[in-house]
Amino acid sequence: MTKPHYQAIVAAPGFALGVQCDADEITGIDFLEPQAEQPPETPLAAEAARQLRAYLADPAFAFGLPLRPSGTSFQRRVWTAIAAIPLGATETYGQVAKRLNNAPRAVGQACGANPFPLVVPCHRVVATGGGLGGFSRQGGGFLLDVKRWLLSHENSLPG
C-alpha cells in the first residue's frame, strides 16, 4: 500500500493531521501518528492548516473549508447529522441512527468513513452507556486516545 501524499501536515497534541487537497477543495484529512509538521504546498493547504491550528487552539472555531463532495447518500446524511451536534455535546450512535431511521452499526460505519474529521466532528458520536465507541474505523490504539483528547478539548468527554 502506498503512503498518501499530504499537501500539509499539522502537529497536534499526541497526533498529527494530514491534509490532502487540490487547488480548489479539501479531499481528505487523516489522523496520523505524531510527527513533524510539513509546510503547506498550496494556498488551500495553507488555509486548511491555519484553520486546523485555530481549532486546536480554540475548539469553538468554526471551519470554513471547501470540502469535495464524497460518500454515499446515506454517509452524507450521517455526516450532516453529525455536523449538527453542538460543541460540548455528544450523541450516541443509537441516537443518530434513530433520527435517521437506520441502525447504529450503519451510523458507526459512516462515521468511520468520514473523510473530513474535525471539520465533520465524528468524534462527538459515542457509545451508549458513556463509552467512547470506535474511532476512524478502529476500536483501539492511538486513535481512541485522539478521540478522548478531542472530547476533552471540547469539554464533552462522556462518563
> What cell numbers appear for 31 in the block?
489522523
Query: Is 122 tagged catalytic?
Result: yes
Instruction: State the CB neighbour count (10 A cutoff) for residue 152.
Output: 12
| Neighbouring residues of 139: CB distance < 8 A, sequence distance ≥ 6 | none
Cα 108 to Cα 92: distance, rounded to the nearest angstrom: 10
Cα 84 to Cα 81: distance, rounded to the nearest angstrom: 5
Q: Which of 21, 122, 132, 143 is catalytic?
A: 122
| Region class of 5: left (phi > 0), else alpha (psi between -120 and 50), else beta | beta
Annotated catalytic sites, by residue? 122
